[in-house]
Structure 1
Amino acid sequence: MPLQPLTDALAEVEQLRARLGPRESFRDPAFLRELADSVAGTTHLRRLPIAEAFIEDLRNFPEQPQLTRTKRHINTARDAQIFSLFNASYFPKLSLDLLSYRALPTDETLADRYPSNTMPVNIVERSSGFGSRVVVALFPENHIDGSQMSDDLIFYFINKFVRRHNKLTRRLIEAAMAEGSFPLLRGTTDVDVERASSWWVRLHEYHHRQGDMPIPEFLPAKRYKPLAGLEELRVDISGMLACLNDTELPQADARLAYEYILSERLLRYAVEGIPRPNYDAVASQLLFNYLVEQGGIELRADRIHLLPGLDAALAAFLGEVQDIERHIHTEPVERVRKMLIAFTNRYTDYDESAKDYQHIPFFAELKRRLEV
């Protein structure tokens, strides 16, 4: 079924967004009742089934503090629309927002072997909050109810992945990598990058829920910047190794996904995290320094060379993290956290005086030279 244009409804959402108060009021029952009345008073927005569900949820708040009807509608993907009130500190521009999307195909073998509630999609129409550069995904806990249930979908906006890969990562590959590196990526089309991105996010979410300290169970223990970065790296290296070693997967797509994940983790996050590294940039620094020490990569003549020992170095990294996390069965969480932090700090530059992580000079110079 073709998507119905949302032009008029989106205009009404923008008008409502402009009148929203401070985020501190987003869970106030009086504010939510007023917002429900405002949405119900629109001409076009209120006719959308997702808006009807949202209005009903708000009118039952706080007696029913979960956005049950809204999320049920989203999870059924019946009309490929998302509308809600969001409140996530890392998505500051996302608030009352609406979008329509087109779901992307998923390889059946990949989905069977690595099941998750991941929804790789392309945005078709959207309100301004979803236009923010950093909003590349939408998680169930981003809604004002802050909850995540086992059947809630996790959305990744793949056209944003393609755009940032073309805008930055391709330039970094040309400027930083030795000739012949990432041969499959160098000849890709947007459709290829779209497919590789879909593989990445599915493997990413699947592996978050694997291991001795999976997410969301151990999310509180991993919120600290270096541990959040280490967790992102743990799941992405797990995904890369699956692409390398799982012979049941379509091999051409798996090899492309491997190169894609590695290039994004090794290069883009490292540059985007300058001057103040976020947790993804800490993960890139950790990956770079670990692989250099283990003989997986080499920095020579201002170029990164991928060495024959790279695959073994990735496996060694994952093995070390797994060995530490296995202690969770016999030792307190805080003790295991300290071990994971110590492992991360061994391969990163933590400045005690600044109380923060420092960037790698090679990537700082790369950022300056490319003016990105």
Structure 2
Amino acid sequence: MISNMDTIISITGQIRDNLKSNVKPKEDDVFNLISEIKQLEGIVSKDLIRAFTEETISFLIEGNEPDYSKTREYINTVDTEISFIAGMFNSPYNPLFGFECILYKKHEVNSSITSHYPSSVVLPVTVLGCTDGFKETMNVSLFPEFFVASAPIKNEHKVFYFTNRFEKRNHLITKPILNQLTTASTFKVLKSASDEEIQEACIAWVYLHEYHHRTGVLPIPEYLNIKGSRAAASLEELRVDLHSIIACIDLYINKKLEKGLLFAELIFAERLLRYPIQIDPHINFDSRASQFFYSFLNDVGTKVFDGTEIHIDVIELREELEKIVNYIDMFERQISRLETAEAKKQIDNLSKSLGGFSVETNKYERLPLYQTMINICENTSIETLISH
């Protein structure tokens, strides 16, 4: 697909390693990388290649501070099926970031979803190859603020989601859990789905997920000053996925989306079951969001786990899901009237009441459901799951 992809990744990786070790990269490596990138003309945008070339020479040859503003700008205008993202990156969520490159193939989103939930900022992609910074365990997306760039972020800047990583986790983690721990009728459509259908469902999930981040009383990125904490991010992740599940159910019921039930089941299963198995809820907001979900379901009288098996009928739970998301939306309206510090305090209090916070250990612990799931799935070690 890209004949020199491995070469591009290898050279970028060498430059990355030099910079991580505070060693000036060899000029030959820099110009070899630029030469290889230029060979992508005809596949990717010439403007993007030119911007990356100019900003990389400024940084690595001329010794200026890294600034990939132009590269980021052209990345956001690319409409070719295959392209690349490269430059300097930084994020508190990814300590491995540095000088990186990723090559990708973009996906089309189901037209029934895009017609009802239009967005121009979400771009689901399959990663074809990347440097080590993009291989970090929990790295599944790229936001415009991760670029090292001096120019301000624009509302139209795209958010990239790496859908093949969601597909892989579904295959390696979620499906084995479903096969071992759910009743025959639970997630029946999801359990029988083909790899291609799982891919389509993951594409729909990340699209709707990001779409709903930008809606509501406190949309992000506008209200990141309130939603920047791990506790707030946990509640936000649950909020947007609940809206996404309901959207898929409604489109399915109204015969607007044939695969809506599959999409709803996948989002539900991933949000409720996978994350606390994969990673500690004390350190990860996605994991904690799953625990919120389970606690909320219990609060509305829905017992999904009897100690042995999980039983869920996504369609039948439509009303309960709406109750939960309405509560979260109401909570957001209430804290929107507060000073930022008080709003964060209220979020933290809610988080501790829902997320498995232990006063004894002063940390978030896995709720019994998830610890039981780990014990039952003992043939698959947590260390193996976390590596994916």
TM-score of Structure 1 vs Structure 2, range by shorter chain: 0.7 to 0.9
Residue number in structure 2 paired with 1:211: 216
Q: What's the TM-score once normalised by structure 2's chain length?
A: 0.84
Equivalent of 1:280, from 256, 280, 286? 286
Q: CA–CA distance in 1 between the matches of 2:361 and 2:296?
A: 23
Q: CA–CA distance in 2 between the matches of 1:58 and 1:13?
A: 11
Q: Tell me whether 205-214 or 13-22 shows the greater mean CA deviation.
A: 13-22
Map 1:192-341; keep pairs closer than 5 Å. Answer: 192-246=197-251, 250-274=256-280, 276-306=282-312, 310-328=317-335, 330-341=337-348
- 1:305-324 per-residue CA deviation (whole Å, 9 max, x = no partner) reads 22676222211111111112
Q: CA–CA distance in 2 between the matches of 1:273 and 1:8?
A: 33
Please state if 1:137 is matched with 2:129. Answer: no
Q: CA–CA distance in 2 between the matches of 1:39 and 1:214?
A: 43
Maintained 8 Å contact 1:200/1:257: yes
Offset of residue 185 of structure 1: 0.4
Letter matched to residue 361 of structure 2: A
Map 1:5-16; keep pairs closer than 5 Å. Answer: 5-16=4-15
Offset of residue 84 of structure 1: 1.3
Q: CA–CA distance in 2 between the matches of 1:229 and 1:261?
A: 16
Q: CA–CA distance in 1 between the matches of 2:260 and 2:101?
A: 34
Offset of residue 36 of structure 1: 10
Please state if 1:42 is matched with 2:40. Answer: no
Please state if 1:74 is matched with 2:72. Answer: no
Q: 1:153 to 1:37 in 2, by over 3 A?
A: farther
SS in 2 for 1:303: coil
Residue number in structure 2 paired with 1:54: 52
SS in 2 for 1:221: helix
Residue number in structure 2 paired with 1:28: none
Residue number in structure 2 paired with 1:20: 19
Maintained 8 Å contact 1:39/1:55: no
Equivalent of 1:104, from 107, 118, 130? 107
Equivalent of 2:194, from 183, 189, 196? 189
Q: 1:176 to 1:274 in 2, by over 3 A?
A: farther
Q: 1:354 to 1:179 in 2, by over 3 A?
A: same
Offset of residue 249 of structure 1: 7.0
Offset of residue 288 of structure 1: 0.6
Offset of residue 252 of structure 1: 2.4
Q: How many residues align?
A: 362
Q: Tell me whether 208-217 or 96-105 shows the greater mean CA deviation.
A: 96-105
SS in 1 for 2:105: strand
Maintained 8 Å contact 2:52/2:86: yes
Please state if 1:167 is matched with 2:172. Answer: yes
Offset of residue 330 of structure 1: 3.5
Runs of 5+ unmatched residues, structure 1: 26-30
Offset of residue 332 of structure 1: 2.5
Offset of residue 206 of structure 1: 0.7
SS in 1 for 2:267: helix
Runs of 5+ unmatched residues, structure 2: 41-45, 383-388
Offset of residue 138 of structure 1: 1.2
Q: CA–CA distance in 2 between the matches of 1:51 and 1:206?
A: 29
Q: 1:38 to 1:83 in 2, by over 3 A?
A: farther
SS in 2 for 1:306: coil
SS in 1 for 2:109: coil
Maintained 8 Å contact 2:181/2:310: yes
Q: CA–CA distance in 2 between the matches of 1:110 and 1:218?
A: 26
Residue number in structure 1 paired with 2:130: 126
Offset of residue 205 of structure 1: 0.6
Q: Tell me whether 277-286 or 305-314 shows the greater mean CA deviation.
A: 305-314
- 1:178-226 per-residue CA deviation (whole Å, 9 max, x = no partner) reads 2210011011111111100011111111110111111011112112222
Offset of residue 130 of structure 1: 2.6
After superposition, the CA RMSD in angstroms is 2.8
Letter matched to residue 125 of structure 2: V
Q: CA–CA distance in 2 between the matches of 1:36 and 1:73?
A: 27
Q: Tell me whether 128-137 or 101-110 shows the greater mean CA deviation.
A: 128-137
Residue number in structure 2 paired with 1:84: 87
Q: What's the TM-score once normalised by structure 1's chain length?
A: 0.87
